Amino acid sequence: MSETIQIIAAATGLVGAIGGVLISYLTLRHTFRKDRHTVRLQIAKSILAWPQPGTTKPKFDKDQLTFSVANVGAKEFTVVSVGLKIGRRSGGRYINQPFGTVTVPYKLQPDETCNFWTDYKKITKGIEKPKLYSKVKIIGYVSDYLGNTFYSNSLTVVLKETRRAKAWSWVKKQSNSLLTLLRP
């Protein structure tokens, strides 16, 4: 009888110890995640439009590379630098003073967004074409004073469009429009 009580007491102690370790681990993980920066960045090739004074027609600014920065964490993030990583081996490009809704450096509060943009054609002119391909992937980044850097999605840049690539894009466009017509 006493052996049974000892086994039950040992099992209860083991379950309590495992439960305590698990609760401690989850609490520490929650605290660690709450204390770090979390920023989302997206880049896209865009056309910007804004109203002109005295007219109803908007002014269009074609071929802009836009950076959309959102602070989804619990700490403020100071945007100090905005730049691009170009390809695998091409290095990167720092954007000195990007145009935007705010100026750099900017303290981005939690649940707040800001946007930056720069001329897309100037960026693509400065990129050297790889030997074998006519496409390069670029990835945007933002960083703060401490070196916390957040990267965006990749964007494919076509440096020199060949006739075959133009024909292929035309075929894809036609097939997509045909599928749009055929769908109910």
3-state DSSP: the chain helix, strand, coil percent, rounded to 5? 30, 40, 30
Q: Any idea where the domains of the chain sit in the sequence?
A: 1-35, 39-169
With a CB cutoff of 8 Å and minimum separation 6, the contacts of 141 are 41, 82, 83, 84, 85, 92, 149, 150, 151, 152
Comparing 33-37, 56-60, 63-67, which segment has the lowest mean pLDDT? 33-37
Task: Tell me whether strands 39-51 and 149-158 are parallel, antiparallel or unpaired.
Answer: unpaired
Q: Tell me which amino acid residue 53 is.
A: P
How much is the pLDDT for 132? 62
Contact 98, 82 (CB under 8 A): yes
pLDDT band, very low/low/confident/very high, at 148 (cuts 50, 70, 90): confident
pLDDT tens digits, one per residue of 97-131: 788 888 888 888 888 899 888 888 887 777 766 66
Q: Is the bond preceding 105 in cis, omega lying within 30 degrees of 0? A: yes
pTM of the model: 0.65
58/52 Cα distance (integer angstroms): 6
136/123 Cα distance (integer angstroms): 12
The matching CATH number, chosen from 1.20.120, 1.10.8, 2.60.40, 2.60.120, for 39-169 is 2.60.40
pLDDT beyond 80 at 12: yes
pLDDT beyond 70 at 172: yes
pLDDT tens digits, one per residue of 33-44: 666 778 888 998
